[in-house]
Amino acid sequence: MSAFTTRPLTPAFGVEITGLDLADPESDSLFPHLRALFEEHSALLFRNQSLDDAHHLALAKQFGPIEDRNADSRKPGEAFEIPRVTNVRADGSVTEAMDLHTLHLKANMLWHSDSTFMPVPALTNILIARVVTTEGGATELASTRAAWAEMPETLKVRIRGRGIRHHYAHSRARISPELAKLEMFNKWPETRWNAVWSNPVNGREALYIASHARLVDGLDETESQALLDDLMDFCTQPRFVYAHQWQVGDVLLWDQRAVMHRGTPWPYDQPRTLSSICTSATPADGLHSLRMSAGQTASADARTQDQKHNKEITT
């Protein structure tokens, strides 16, 4: 296998990797190099790939346990199905602009990190373009690590050391109160995470926020929203953002500890489908530092919960 090459996606973060066929079994031996690039650059892009679902799942497993949001409803023996981010119904038609499913897709157009509302948050999302539109439908990434490094201390001090509470329904309510009432957005209790996630490999810190973020420790809802808006505005300045225009076969993955993302609109009469696998963060990814007790420190109970969860969801 010839050596792969990289080029920056932006001056702040991200690299495109060329000369590597992810479907080639030999590529597995290069994963330590890919993981090092992931830790260093936070986002990796591979174009012109031909990954089927099996290859997609195999790649994801190298990053960690597969996140399975439907584990509680799956029948015994029923296989895990790779989630699709799509507006296409089972019969091949597309959802209308005000359909609840389309509104759910529109909620994904708010800046967020995946799974901040889950008992164990995500480490990465690996997206593959299956069907793309003639216009729009980009995925934008924003580096909260690059932004945190440049953030004025006057803003940092307002959030450093605080916990932030997250809930799935909170982001959906910003789009539609009816959408927020659906069971799928209320099946997990509110979470509370440290506002800053430190990468245990290189020590770099990143702000950990999302559209699911609802309440900041020590602040009421109005004060929390004002602070979260200030932080979001700073982190999503153009110099911290990469906008990806999809082509069929593109593979884009990023570090959810250090990168937010959002979709952008497209003509809703056009089908669009991305396959998406999230992997769950583990203690090796710095999960202990994210969990906070009342005293702002990780607890031994949290470590036990992490180990139990990771054992249960590894597939």
Nearest Cα residue to 191 out of 109, 277, 312, 292: 292
Specify the pTM.
0.89
pLDDT at 75: 84
Number of domains comprising the chain: 1
Nearest Cα residue to 45 out of 10, 85, 83, 14: 14
- Which segments of the chain have a pLDDT < 50? 1, 297-315
- Tell me the residue range of the domain where 70 lies: 5-313
CATH code for position 208 = 3.60.130.10
Average per-residue pLDDT for the chain: 90
pLDDT at 300: 34
H/E element, 179: helix 177-180
The CA–CA distances, whole Å, from 57 to 47, 60, 82, 91, 230 equal 18, 5, 8, 25, 37
Nearest Cα residue to 133 out of 278, 264, 45, 275: 264
